Chain A
Amino acid sequence: MINALLWAPLAFGFLGLFLPRRASGWWAVLGALVTLAIAAWMVFDFDSGSSGLQHAVDVSWISGLGVDYSLGVDGLNIFLVALTALLWLAGTAFAAFREQERPHLFFFLMMLAETATLGSFLAQDLLLFVLFFDLMLVPFYFLFGAWGSDRAGGPTAAAATLKMIVYTLVGSLLMLVAAIATAIISADGGHLTFSIAAIQQQGIGVDSQRWIFWFFAAAFLVKMPAFLLHGWMPDAYRAAPLPVLLVFSGVLAKVGAYGFLRVVLPLFPAAAIEFQEVVLVIALASILYGSVMAFTQTNVRLIAGYSSVAQLGFITAGIFALRADGSDGAVLQMVNHGLVVAPIFVIVAILVERTGTEDIREMGGMALRAPVLAALFLIIVLATLAMPGSANFIGEFYILNGLFQSKIVFALIAISGVAMSAYYALRLYQRTMHNRKPDGVASREIGLRDTLVLGPIVLCILALALYPQLILQRTAPTVEQTVAGVTGGNAPEAQLARK
């Protein structure tokens, strides 16, 4: 079943190459739907009491090099897999409703990207993880570069994409070296294996952990992107086609945060404790910088982009609280953030279609004749700013709670990020929906097609707001185990997460 989940998108994408032009989009939507169905079944089938791997597959792939084809779901990745499947369905449906150039190739690449992303979430072998992590870049390179828009007075789409690829590959190539070093050091002349569980059991020396930690951290922090490593983000976000940006921003940034939980904490616990404060400083800088940039930018894409920098800063801070509740909140918040940032890009696309600009200074009054659009947007915005009652509030609460108990100074600074998020989210809403409507801009209600794309995501936001335990209950056992591996004991406050 897990194989079907992983390869279904690619199989659909490949077959879609041979269909007539007009059918290829809907065929891809069908593929994404099938994937989502399998993912939903897995969530339903998930044994919430267990912290171990479920639906695990483990066969030898390149025996000479010790690489296994090893997949599995547990509390860390099950909801990220579901999020991936959901957002990809939204992205492909959104693209299929609109005319695409060279649709065969576009939807093939979209589906390839889904398989690669699912692969990096599911992989339980270090090298397989690195492989999928790098593979994700290939389809996005083409999608951004060939279907993106050149910016007048700025870099072309191809140039912006190249910058993104070079940035992210710097990290991931060093990660390849680090992964191989990890396996060789832990094998210590014995049988070479890249299995994450096996390496965790054997453990590696503290001295080696120090440099390997940073090789991995670099890859993950660039992907997020974190402050100082975000240089690729503004150009790439402005060049990217919106349906692709939707999945990119919604899911790919989480792969970095997920990597910390899946790889860094279990394999390099000593280094994680040693460098806890350094990473927290980076995370806080991301929160502050991302928030400040988000409320000074005027381009709607960049507002969403910088707000992601801030949110990912929160998630990183939660993980590096090195406490179970912080990491619980981080996992929940990863899902929440994916669920709010993706619909924001859908709405951005709708607004751009109506106003012909991406600048919020030239927008306004869009709510005038579009109450449904405004209501949907309002729900999303309130979730973004972590309104009490939303699942984002629970997520941020857990993160801050964890941070308070481990590093109170950092927590106090992080709180300012919560306040700033209210400012930039409401500013985005007001400037676009309220205020005076510029001349020549029509306020139209959201169409049925876009409602079909937005509706399910907003329903998920509402459902999680009512019942966040759905995620917390299932993730807590695995998260506790992961964090206990670092701190060396099962902290009592971890019970909080399960209550």
Chain B
Amino acid sequence: MTFNEPHIDYAGISPIIALTVGLCVVLLSGVFKPVKRWAPGLTIVTLAAAAGLLIWQWGESKDLISKALRLDDLAISISLIAILTAAFCVLLSVREPATEEAGSGEYHSLLLGSVLGMVLLAEAQNLVTFFVALETLSIPLYILCATNLRREGSLESGLKYLIVGSLGSATLLYGMAFLYGGTGSTNFDGIALGIADRGMLGDPLILIGIAMAAVGLAFKTSIAPFHQWTPDVYQGAPTPITSFMAVATKAAAFAVFLRFFDVALGPQVDDWQPALAVLAAISIVVGNVGALGQDSLKRMLGYSGVAQAGYMLGGVVVASESGVSSLVFYLAAYSFMNLAAFAVIVARERETPFGDGIRSVRGLGAERPLLAWLLTISMLALAGLPATSGFIGKLYLIEALVEGDYTWLAVFIAVGTMISLAYYLPVVAAMWMRPRGEPAAGAAPAIAGASPDADPIDPDAGRRLHLLAPALLAAAATVFFGIIPQPLVDFAAHAGASLF
């Protein structure tokens, strides 16, 4: 009896293997006392190995595991963004109470599990892998949100995320069932073929499927009006996890958004384009208006994330190569500026008794000029001012939108950006333009998120290298790509070329 072994492209799936092996090693390291302390280091090694293998595969374009996955520059670039964010998250988690409470091994292996899900999601081109990857990404995050066991907010955030996330997944799954029913295929190109060739174009079955899938994905990318969980979950989760969720989840979800809509639903483009454009516009308005007057920086960034997701959705709407490129560019730029902000917020959370309230950064310009500079750069970049990558990112997106005849959406972005100044700039003003707010003597600080048994204050947190180095790196990248954007433009153009 002969056995024909299937061809397995080990090189192509090597990043996935590396992450899986690393996940097991990190989990086991938590069990043995002598190596317990190594968990963060092992996580970084795993991420570095996966990143190295992905870079090695850069430029490849091939189907893996009988077309369940596709390795191309889009998948690689998005995976790299997710891995970089996870590495930042590991650094920000050092000395984080949540890490201790949940157990360092478990915490970091969950993080790796989520990264594994993101890499799979970025490569998914089959409904089944798509869904499995999405759950691999989400389930560890539900747990990670709740790892700060002693804080009610953290537990609430985990539960809320679980319920809303499951609702989103269920909706998506329902939509997938319609699509499969209509086209008879789970592969993305099979679906495209089914829509075009079997006369299903404009069939209600397909349209319902598309609508439900879009809603499910909108939950994951926190696009309004499916964003309600975002501010609460962002505020409650441990801050390093918030930074990871804000950037990496969004990147991975947008990768599959692009692949699913541009490849599988490509033939139906005229129907979903206007619908997504409206969603983007709603998201821009709701996010920017919601962020106004927020006192908690994490909540503010949550709402700003909703608005930014609206901008980025524009890259999906136009369904063109420049749309994909601009979206990848924006995601990369967005990750740097957000990470700088979150690193400073983590530092101030540990230094002051004000948690993530805007009071925690008051007078920072005089007290800690370096940290203040970093947060300033990040805020200006989020607001899209020139000499930061935020400006170039907006330029790229608007160019793609105008080219794709969606000038009105570009105007929405411009107006949204204008509103956004009214909440980004007050943070800058608080740092540089007002005296430092002193806590009332003796009284326990009565602010959101701080319970009587609040985390101990570490007055030197802002000087510690594990916080300062990532913040510096992210802010430097933000300015660098604002002045010399060409390398990042090339990177994004490669990703864009892989879909069209």
Give me the interface of A with B, judged by CB distance under 8 Å.
61-65, 67, 102, 127, 131-132, 134-135, 137-138, 141-142, 145-146, 156-158, 161-162, 165-166, 169-170, 173-174, 176-177, 180-181, 184, 192
Q: Which residues of B contact A184 (CB under 8 A)?
A: 399, 402-403
Within 8 Å by CB of B422, from A145, A162, A177, lies: A162
Known: A62-B485, A158-B434. A177 touches B411 (CB 8 A): yes
Q: Which residues of B contact A174 (CB under 8 A)?
A: 411, 414
Chain B residue, CB-CB nearest to A67: B395
**Within 8 Å of chain A (Cβ to Cβ): is B268?**
no
**What 0/1 readout, one digit per residue, does chain B (412-424) give for beta carbons within 8 Å of chain A?**
0111011001100
Q: How far is the CA of A61 from the CA of B366 in the complex (A)?
A: 36
Known: A135-B386, A177-B410. A146 touches B426 (CB 8 A): no
Interface size on B, residues (CB 8 A): 39
> B443 to nearest A CB, angstroms?
26
Q: How far is the CA of A145 from the CA of B428 in the complex (A)?
A: 10
18 contacts between A and B (CB under 8 A): A62-B485, A63-B486, A102-B366, A131-B386, A134-B391, A138-B386, A156-B433, A162-B426, A165-B425, A166-B421, A166-B422, A169-B417, A173-B415, A173-B418, A177-B402, A177-B410, A177-B414, A180-B410
Q: Which residues of B contact A146 (CB under 8 A)?
A: 365, 432-433
Q: How far is the CA of A166 from the CA of B414 in the complex (A)?
A: 12
Within 8 Å by CB of A177, from B391, B407, B426, B432, lies: B407
Decide if the interface of chain B is mainly helix, strand, loop or mixed. helix
**Within 8 Å of chain A (Cβ to Cβ): is B394?**
yes
**Within 8 Å of chain A (Cβ to Cβ): is B245?**
no
Chain A residue, CB-CB nearest to B416: A173
Chain B residue, CB-CB nearest to A127: B395
Q: Which residues of A contact B402 (CB under 8 A)?
A: 177, 180-181, 184
Q: Is the CB of B385 within 8 A of A65?
A: no
Q: Which residues of A contact B396 (CB under 8 A)?
A: 65
Question: Which B residues from 420 to 453 make CB contacts under 8 A with A?
Answer: 421-422, 425-426, 428-429, 432-434
**Within 8 Å of chain A (Cβ to Cβ): is B477?**
no
Give me the interface of B with A, judged by CB distance under 8 Å.
325, 365-366, 380, 384-387, 391-392, 394-396, 398-399, 402-403, 407, 410-411, 413-415, 417-418, 421-422, 425-426, 428-429, 432-434, 485-486, 489-490, 493
Within 8 Å by CB of A134, from B385, B415, B432, lies: B385
Q: Is the CB of B391 within 8 A of A131?
A: yes
Q: Which residues of B contact A102 (CB under 8 A)?
A: 366
> A122 to nearest B CB, angstroms?
15
Within 8 Å by CB of B433, from A63, A158, A176, A180, lies: A158
Chain A residue, CB-CB nearest to B419: A166
Q: Is the CB of B399 within 8 A of A65?
A: yes
Q: Is the CB of A181 within 8 A of B407?
A: yes
Decide if the interface of chain A is mainly helix, strand, loop or mixed. helix
Q: How far is the CA of A62 from the CA of B413 in the complex (A)?
A: 22
Q: Is the CB of B398 within 8 A of A176?
A: yes
Known: A173-B418, A176-B414, A180-B399. A135 touches B432 (CB 8 A): no
Q: Which residues of A contact B398 (CB under 8 A)?
A: 176-177, 180
Chain B residue, CB-CB nearest to A135: B386
Q: How far is the CA of A135 from the CA of B410 in the complex (A)?
A: 20
Within 8 Å by CB of A162, from B395, B421, B485, lies: B421
Q: Is the CB of A64 within 8 A of B493?
A: yes
> A382 to nearest B CB, angstroms?
39
> A211 to nearest B CB, angstroms?
9
Q: Is the CB of B395 within 8 A of A64?
A: no
Q: Which residues of B contact A156 (CB under 8 A)?
A: 433
Within 8 Å by CB of B418, from A127, A166, A180, lies: A166
Q: How far is the CA of A176 from the CA of B401 in the complex (A)?
A: 13
Q: How far is the CA of A65 from the CA of B384 in the complex (A)?
A: 17
Q: How far is the CA of A64 from the CA of B491 in the complex (A)?
A: 11
Q: How far is the CA of A177 from the CA of B410 in the complex (A)?
A: 7
Q: Which residues of A contact B325 (CB under 8 A)?
A: 64
> A375 to nearest B CB, angstroms?
39
Q: Which residues of B contact A158 (CB under 8 A)?
A: 426, 429, 433-434
Q: How far is the CA of A380 from the CA of B392 in the complex (A)?
A: 43
Q: Is the CB of B486 within 8 A of A62?
A: yes
- With A64-B325, A173-B415 known, 16 other A-B pairs at CB within 8 A are A62-B485, A64-B493, A65-B396, A65-B399, A131-B391, A134-B391, A135-B385, A138-B385, A162-B425, A165-B425, A169-B417, A176-B394, A176-B414, A180-B395, A184-B402, A192-B399
